């Protein structure tokens, strides 16, 4: 395994001399300032940092602090011409692996780098094996052969150990929740909770209590104290799905939590502090929401530290055969079926279909086909949506004179829920309404109730 080393020194000559001494053995990056170093740490996969203690715009101790807070898996060696016992102790306490005083022998630095490289390679191999086991244990599948999706998978591995917030965007059904699960499983937090909060499905008046919890007597019916989901995710990961549906009030509350890691339970006065890695997802255009004033710009920038866009299935159709086979195996096991494969014509039609519901729609189709099939090979007859295409399907709603607007609205919601296989995100898009509004209408009209 190649060990990537970042050398930091504002003395360009010293930096070049150091580079020439070790570049044949390691993949090297260099920085001459604190700002440049932080940028490289945030964008490159680095194993070891060798930093001078004195920098023009900062210090090696600040580098140590940054690494300790955001990239704890990176080892740091501090070098300086100002060697004192106090600075040495401070560096070690701040997380430095070793402390070298200029002038030092290049052999001493190489010895330290060799030792650290061996440790890092062992850590990487252990991490890889742990990731495989965790994905199997959590039944997480990230099936892909496309280069675009492979890069997303590799990025997830690279940033998993960071505590930095990640904003995952993409259409409904593209696998945003799968990516969030991957980030959690790849991280050191995998033994702690992964807590998902669907911001759109929780009623507005209950969302604050769900996120932050409440104290006994905080409101009518609060007969006992309850921890919120952010508190339940302590030392783990909180995944805020459909973040674009938050009200301005909840946006403000969440921003404070992201900035300080602090909050109070509803009805409480005691400030709590939890260690939570926050991931967020949206199928909305948050930048557009920022421009029209419906989403706070400061919250957007706080969430958007690392942005990952999940492409629609129609943009990586080469994955479709492998996804279908994966779903066949999954639903064979769940339904005690023995389906083996699909007819090539299914693949041909599937790769031409537009997939408005993306991977989730594909999975639903395969599940239905596996459950209803009596043959070992699935054919087009098992995928009626692919055979006729969405344009030929029945998409009309019968409206008669005398129907009220409420009746028409209820009928439109019911018909679209049936047509889109109860995919509420897709129905909300088609009806051009917010997801929270759709949930409210479903409850108001008692849709789906006996």
Regarding whether 322 and 299 lie in a shared domain, the answer is: no
Residue 242 neighbours by CB under 8 Å, 6+ apart = 198, 199, 200, 201, 281, 282, 283, 284, 425, 435
- Which H/E stretch holds residue 197? strand 194-198
Instruction: Tokens 């102790």: give the residue.
Output: 89
397 domain residue, yes or no: no
Q: State pLDDT tens for residues 237-279.
A: 999 999 999 999 999 999 999 988 889 998 888 889 899 999 9
Residues 252 and 282 both lie in one domain:
yes
Same domain, 152 and 299: yes
My answer on whether 435 and 418 are in the same domain is: yes
Number of folded domains that form the chain = 4
Q: Residue 256 has what pLDDT?
A: 92
Residues 98 and 115 in one domain: yes
Residues 388 and 410 in one domain: no
**Among 63, 95, 125, where does a domain finish?**
125
Query: Pick from 310, 326, 352: which residue ends a domain?
Result: 310
SS3 assignment, position 76: strand
Q: Does 306 fall in a domain?
A: yes
Domain housing 206: 144-310
Task: Take residue 218 and report the two structure tokens written for it.
Answer: 């905080």
Same domain, yes or no: 80 and 20:
yes
Check residue 95 and give its pLDDT.
59
Alpha-carbon distances of 244 from 164, 227, 253, 357, 445, rounded to whole Å = 19, 24, 14, 19, 25
The answer to whether 76 touches 63, Cβ cutoff 8 Å, is yes
Q: What is the pLDDT of residue 41?
A: 87
Query: Quick one: pLDDT at residue 83?
Result: 56
Residues of the chain with pLDDT under 50: 389-394
Whose CA is closest to 111, among 8, 22, 16?
A: 22
pLDDT score of 392: 41
Domain identity same for 189 and 240: yes
Please report the pLDDT score of residue 21 as a whole number.
Answer: 85
348 and 300, same structural domain? no
Same domain? For 373 and 423 the reply is no
Say whether 50 sits in a helix, a strand or coil.
Answer: strand
- Domain final residue, candidates 96, 125, 154: 125
CATH number at 278 reads 3.40.50.300
* pLDDT at 229 (0 to 100): 94
Amino acid 119: pLDDT: 80
Q: Read off the CATH number of the domain in which 422 is found.
A: 1.10.10
């Amino acid at each position: 395994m190649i060990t990537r080393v970042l050398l930091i020194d504002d003395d360009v000559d010293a930096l070049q001399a150091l580079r020439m001494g070790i570049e044949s053995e390691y993949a090297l990056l260099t920085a001459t300032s604190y700002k440049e170093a932080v940028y490289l740490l945030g964008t490159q996969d680095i194993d070891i940092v060798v930093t001078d203690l004195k920098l023009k715009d900062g210090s090696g101790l600040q580098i140590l602090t940054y690494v300790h807070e955001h990239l704890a898996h990176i080892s740091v060696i501090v070098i300086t011409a100002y060697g004192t016992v106090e600075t040495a102790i401070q560096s070690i306490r701040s997380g430095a692996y070793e402390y070298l005083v200029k002038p030092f022998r290049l052999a001493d630095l190489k010895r330290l780098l060799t030792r650290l490289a061996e440790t890092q390679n062992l850590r990487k191999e252990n991490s890889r094996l742990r990731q495989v086991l965790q994905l199997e244990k959590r039944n997480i599948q990230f099936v892909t052969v496309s280069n675009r999706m492979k890069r997303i998978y590799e990025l997830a591995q690279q940033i998993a150990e960071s505590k930095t917030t990640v904003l995952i965007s993409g259409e409904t059904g593209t696998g945003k929740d799968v990516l969030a699960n991957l980030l959690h499983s790849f991280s050191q937090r995998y033994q702690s909770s992964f807590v998902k909060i669907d911001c759109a499905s929780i009623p507005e008046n209950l969302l604050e209590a769900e996120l932050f919890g409440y104290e006994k007597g905080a409101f009518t019916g609060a007969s006992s104290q309850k921890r919120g989901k952010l508190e339940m995710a302590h030392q783990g990961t909180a995944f805020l799905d459909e973040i674009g549906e938050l009200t301005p009030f909840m946006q403000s509350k969440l921003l404070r939590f992201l900035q300080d890691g602090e909050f109070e339970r509803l009805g409480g006065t005691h400030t709590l502090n939890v260690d939570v890695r926050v991931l967020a997802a949206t199928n909305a255009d948050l930048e557009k929401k920022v421009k029209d004033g419906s989403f706070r710009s400061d919250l957007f920038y706080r969430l958007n530290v690392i942005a990952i866009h999940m492409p629609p299935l129609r943009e990586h159709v080469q994955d479709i055969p492998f996804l279908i086979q994966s779903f066949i195996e999954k639903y064979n096991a769940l339904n005690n079926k023995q389906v083996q494969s699909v007819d090539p014509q299914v693949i041909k039609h599937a790769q031409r279909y537009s997939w408005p519901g993306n991977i989730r729609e594909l999975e639903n189709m395969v599940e239905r086909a596996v459950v209803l099939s009596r043959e070992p090979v699935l054919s087009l007859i098992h995928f009626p949506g692919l055979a006729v295409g969405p344009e030929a399907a029945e998409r009309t709603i019968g409206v008669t004179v005398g129907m009220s607007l409420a009746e028409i609205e209820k009928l439109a919601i019911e018909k679209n829920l049936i047509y889109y296989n109860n995919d509420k995100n897709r129905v909300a898009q088609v009806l051009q309404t917010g997801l929270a509004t759709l949930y409210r209408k479903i409850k108001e009209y008692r849709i789906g109730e006996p």
